[in-house]
Amino acid sequence: MKALRERLALFACVWSLHVLEARCEPSGEESQQYGFQTYSLNGKWMLYNSNSSLSLVADVPGCVHTALLKQGFIQDPYYRFNDLAYRWISLDNWTYTTTFSVPAEIKNKQKVSLVLEGVDTVSVISLNGAAVGKTDNMFRRYDFEVGSLLRDHGNVLTVGLTSALLYAAERSQAHTSYPVPPDCPPPVQKGECHVNFIRKAQNSFSWDWGPSFPSLGLWRGVRLEAYDALRLLYLTATPARDAGLSQWSVEVELFFDAVEAAVGSVTLSLPELATQQAFQASLPPGQSRNPFVLHVNKSAQVDLWWPNGQGKQNRYHLNVQVALDGGHTIDTHSLVFFRTVELVQEPIEGSPGLSFYFRINGRPVFLKGSNWIPAHSFQDQVTVDILKNLLQSAADANMNTLRVWGGGVYEQEDFYSLCDDLGIMIWQDFMFACALYPTESEFLQAVREEVTHQVRRLKSHPSVIVWSGNNENEAAIATDWFSIPASRRPQYLRDYVTLYVDNIREIVQKEDRSRPFLTSSPTNGAESQQEGWVAQDPYDPHFGDTHFYNYLQDCWDWRGFPRTRFASEYGFQSWPSFSTLQQVSVAEDWSYQSNFTSHRQHHNTGNQQILEQAKLHFHLPDSPDPLQAYRDTLYLSQVMQAQCVKMQTEFYRRSRSEIINGQGNTMGALYWQLNDIWQGPSWSSVEFGGKWKMLHYFAQDFFAPVLPVGFQDQGVLLIYAVSDLSTDLTLRAVVTVYRWSSFEPVCTLASRAALVRGGSALPLYKQPVDALLAGCGNCTRLTCVLTFHLEDAGSQRGPTNHLFLSSPREAQGLRRPSITTKVEQDGESYSATLHTSAIAPFLWLDVGDIPGRFDSNGFLMVTKNRTVHFYPWGPTSVTQLSKALQVTSLRGLY
């Protein structure tokens, strides 16, 4: 460490010779404000630790860990065991500083504000030696008046960051009246304590799918805003439809900061809808909220914004012109998306409880998708390209919804704009998860500022369809996660209501009347409210949404799944591919029994659970080659996960139209989780770096707009047609029976055609399995497998599905295939033609670290030849792909 510090000191000495300057930026075409200018302070700053033994140049926006990495002072924090080795970074205090000059046109304005879009997290800010302010919340914007402190040259801005670990511990120790659990995460997570006492990404102290990296830094931009008369803080635009008048309107809210009282006019226009309206405006000094309602021209045709798979994502341009007496003007614009959202909770005939579904533009929509976690431990590393890749992958898998989980961050603007473009609806949690929280006035005020800022920032996005107060905190109290003594339970119930109802809910309902609010997830919704906001059983399938995990029961047995109104979390773990793990490991780590394998697993007994679930239906790998056995185990973990989540998701989708024993009408399936934060085992369907796991390829099919679902119930085969379309179809189910030992179908059967209403699930085929097999060449459950699809007037609708009649480990006639491949270029994509000598379940194509995806993968191959396509995300070639391509099938494991 001494040698490292000496090297850092020498490096800092060289860099201290340079003056780090800011730059002046115009306000841009999107917002032209007369008398208003911004001055960016982003760029190269100096960074020091507490005793100045470490000093280096750091990028802003950025964080301490990435600065140390970029300058070569630490390795990749994700490499092997570095999450533990670099704990010292988060235990230290750090200071960012920059020196800048200010142009006269900035300095001479009436007011100059220092704006910090995101500080992680606890800091003291000074300018030219004078204290400016403090920060203690990662999730809000800070704004400080600094005009009187500025010089023409040599301005020194300093942001002194306190260790989040030390701050959280101090705040916890200061809370002496009663404990606020949990103190620490489970030991298997290798994390830090008291995260609930700091308004920071809760997962940054560790989670069961990610590392502990309590980051510090300026994670969003820093700038000066200078103005003579006023500046525009927020512009929001939310549409509303008056059903009685058959007319749309847009509520536009302008949040100003005025130097002094002013009067003038505001003109709003929607040129594409031939709509314009002028309003008088009277602004008080300081900050003010100014609402205006723009009524859309009744004769104009308004095209709506629809979720992915339901229609187009139409948008309109809103122009805003502000003209104040005295000549000060603002000319800006925004986008407007016309859509309505309702959360329907009403009685259901034949069932106790209430419905729970979302109606978009008056149409009930089944929400299908996943849960989103932070894409990196260090948010400055999350680029627009990373977001585009992940969100496009969600859309390509026929998802229409992501739940932004409450233990991470409110995502950057690009995330929500991309979701708007792709038609991906967002269930937006507020950032509270799996914990109880303090309710002192100082903490509550920080939360109020956070919530107000985030709602104003995000409410104009049509993709955001619901606000939710927290992740699992209602369930934590109701089911006594933290072993709270009965005498203290009323205190925690009061705290829960104070935080999520009296503060967060109150602010949301004041700021945004255009979308519903839920206090928690899971929750019984309206029933929880009736029970005082904490239901006796928040997992009750007759109300609200549920989270369900059971790693020990047989995931192929659908009878173990809750027939819930809405499944907002469920899933199973798997390991990422070998090429992803290679980036952060060495040869001695490539064993399922290695220290690395154990270290990366943050879910208690998770590695064993994966194998226990897998061996219920599959032979475990038995290769004598240790590396091959390891790779085979990674593959099998993904097979298990994909099949388990497929079974559960198909159960939820076929349950949308029926009530059985008082349960059903399921209208949402969001599995846990979409993405990864690092290279390790998790519930994700997309690996860190963007590579699709087998589960994601399966999701393409089980979230298809039209889907056949087959299952057995007391020895009877049933096949449902599930349709998310808005139009009706006339469909029949076609079943094909194969022997494991032959490509030739044993027989093909078909149901009668039936009308399948749009937005419904209907059973089309029903026959005892034994009778079906007896009529198909005396097949047995062990020797044969079923495939099936839906047809509409002779053409196939939706994917081909399959049903195993026994566990593959018991299959008779399933042979080890010999598989050959030929790769060819096909326009901008590549084709891979496969030839197999035997039927191959879970056939998996892997091109290592070549970025891209196949159009299909992990499939049951029942034909000798099949061609799949590979879509690269960067430059590659036939030679590279041919060399990298590896093909694995289930029977190749033993």
Element (H, E) at 535: none
- The tally of CA atoms less than 13 A away on the side-chain side of residue 63 is 24
Helix, strand or coil, per DSSP, at residue 236: strand
Active site residue 569: yes
Q: Which residues on adjacent β-strands are paired with residue 514?
A: none
Q: How far apart are CA 112 and CA 128, in angstroms?
A: 15
- Do 17 and 218 meet the contact criterion of CB atoms below 8 Å apart? no
Phi, psi of 456 (to 5 degrees): -65, -35
Residue 553 vs residues 214, 342, 376, 621: alpha-carbon distances, Å:
36, 36, 32, 22
Helix, strand or coil, per DSSP, at residue 893: helix
**Given the residues 253, 569, 650, 791, the one annotated as active site:** 569
DSSP state of 583: T
Sign of CA dihedral 172, 177, 180, 181: positive
Cis peptide before 121 (omega within 30 of 0): yes
Phi, psi of 527 (to 5 degrees): -70, -40
Kindly report the number of other CB atoms within 10 A of residue 598's CB atom: 12
Count of H-run helices and E-run strands, the chain = 20, 49
For tokens 């097999």, the residue is 773
Q: Which residues contact 278 (CB under 8 A, 6 or more apart)?
A: 265, 266, 267, 268
CA dihedral 540, 546, 549, 553 (to 10 degrees): 50
Burial group, residue 851, by CB count within 10 angstroms (0-12, 13-18, 19+): middle
Q: Which residues contact 645 (CB under 8 A, 6 or more apart)?
A: 570, 571, 572, 671, 685, 695, 698, 699, 702
Helix axes 413-422, 384-396, angle to 10 degrees: 30
Q: How far apart are CA 465 and CA 445, in angstroms?
A: 26
- Do 279 and 269 meet the contact criterion of CB atoms below 8 Å apart? no
Q: How far apart are CA 209 and CA 185, in angstroms?
A: 12
**Given the residues 225, 411, 472, 511, the one annotated as active site:** 472
Active site residue 472: yes
Q: Hey, what are 694's tokens?
A: 């087998």
Q: How far apart are CA 677 and CA 241, in angstroms?
A: 40
DSSP state of 503: I
Kindly report the number of other CB atoms within 10 A of residue 298's CB atom: 11
Q: How far apart are CA 414 and CA 437, in angstroms?
A: 30
- Do 630 and 591 meet the contact criterion of CB atoms below 8 Å apart? yes
Q: Which residues contact 176 (CB under 8 A, 6 or more apart)?
A: none
What is the pairing mode between strands 367-372 and 668-671? parallel
Kindly report the number of other CB atoms within 10 A of residue 745's CB atom: 14
- Do 83 and 203 meet the contact criterion of CB atoms below 8 Å apart? no
Catalytic positions: 472, 569
